[in-house]
Amino acid sequence: MVRTFAVIGDPIDHSLSPAMHNAAFLEARMDCTYIAYRVPRGEVPEGLDSLRAAGIEGFNVTIPHKVAVMEHLDSVSEECSLIGAANLVHDRGGRRRGFNTDMEGFLGPLLSRNVPLPGCRVLLLGAGGAARAGASGLAARGASHIHICNRNVEKARSLAEHCSRMGVSSSSGPLPSYVEAGFDLVVNATSVGMNGGPSPADMGRVSPGVVAYDMVYRPVRTSFLEQAEDAGAVIIPGWEMLLHQAALSFSILHDREAPVQTMKRALVGVFE
């Protein structure tokens, strides 16, 4: 019987996860399929029941359910509990276990570029689920200070407190109109810039050599990245994080190494 996997979220029509996972199944000759399944906000319990009834034993979770799904899990991984959000669930033997591959997925492109994280001064734009995973990863890797800016300042303050509890010096404030010098790494973890549009903050004044990392993956070159590159920054596009978290999800779901190059070709192919 074909085994079915899924990604749940809302909106979900444009998810790139089915393309990556289905390409991996084909490459690995696995009799599996991966679908996008819309679960509206507030309907997580019903959505999870439907997945179980359909025999779906593993699924990714995306906006807006990463935090909400937590209260419907029987157990969680260490990362999941640290971050307070799940982006992957195993549903086996009537028990659901949550994982979070966003944190490692976020760190992957930084580590592969040898960006020095211990002692790093970070400006993090955004304070949602993705920002939480990024902040936790940076805190765990020894960043020296994380300044968190968000439209909703209360959420920024709460994430800064989370970083402080992890032992990292942190501060918070509103989104600035432009990013000042004095940071080694600037991360856009807001959804601003998705499908075009302006950068959440002007990147034109960052110092050359700063690393600018956008979690937004569509378009590939966002205004945030273009402004940063023009100012001499090293840029990291969001599709790299997407690919890393998907490969890690694949290896957890199927207990085997992910065909990363195949998944990358499927992902990049969607952009072309």
Report how far residue 187's alpha carbon sits from residue 79's, in angstroms, rounded to the nearest whole number.
20
66 counts as catalytic: yes
Taking CB under 6 A as the rule, does residue 176 contact ligand ATR? Answer: no
Taking CB under 6 A as the rule, does residue 72 contact ligand ATR? Answer: no
What residues between 9 and 38 interact with ligand ATR by CB under 6 A? none
Question: Would you say 24 or 125 has its CB closer to ligand ATR?
Answer: 125
Cis preceding linkage at 219, omega within 30: yes
Strands 58-61 and 75-76: unpaired
Residues 6 or more apart whose Cβ sits within 8 Å of residue 17? 7, 34, 36, 60, 62, 246
Per-residue contact flags (x/-) with ligand ATR for residues 101 to 140, judged by CB under 6 A:
-------------------------xxxxxx---------
**Run of H or E including 212:** strand 211-214
Strands 145-149 and 121-125: parallel
- Category of 89 on φ-ψ map: left (φ > 0), alpha (ψ -120 to 50) or beta: beta
Exposure of 235 in the CB half-sphere (CA atoms within 13 A) = 23
> CB of 89: closest distance to ligand ATR in angstroms?
15
Taking CB under 6 A as the rule, does residue 81 contact ligand ATR? Answer: no
> CB of 62: closest distance to ligand ATR in angstroms?
7
Exposure of 47 in the CB half-sphere (CA atoms within 13 A) = 23
Taking CB under 6 A as the rule, does residue 238 contact ligand ATR? Answer: no
Taking CB under 6 A as the rule, does residue 159 contact ligand ATR? Answer: no
Taking CB under 6 A as the rule, does residue 145 contact ligand ATR? Answer: no
Stretch that binds ligand ATR, among 53-61, 189-197, 219-227, 244-252 (CB under 6 A): 189-197
Catalytic residue (one of 66, 90, 97, 244): 66
Binding-site ranges for ligand ATR (CB under 6 A): 63-64, 66, 126-131, 150-152, 155, 175, 190-192, 200
| Catalytic positions, written as ranges | 66
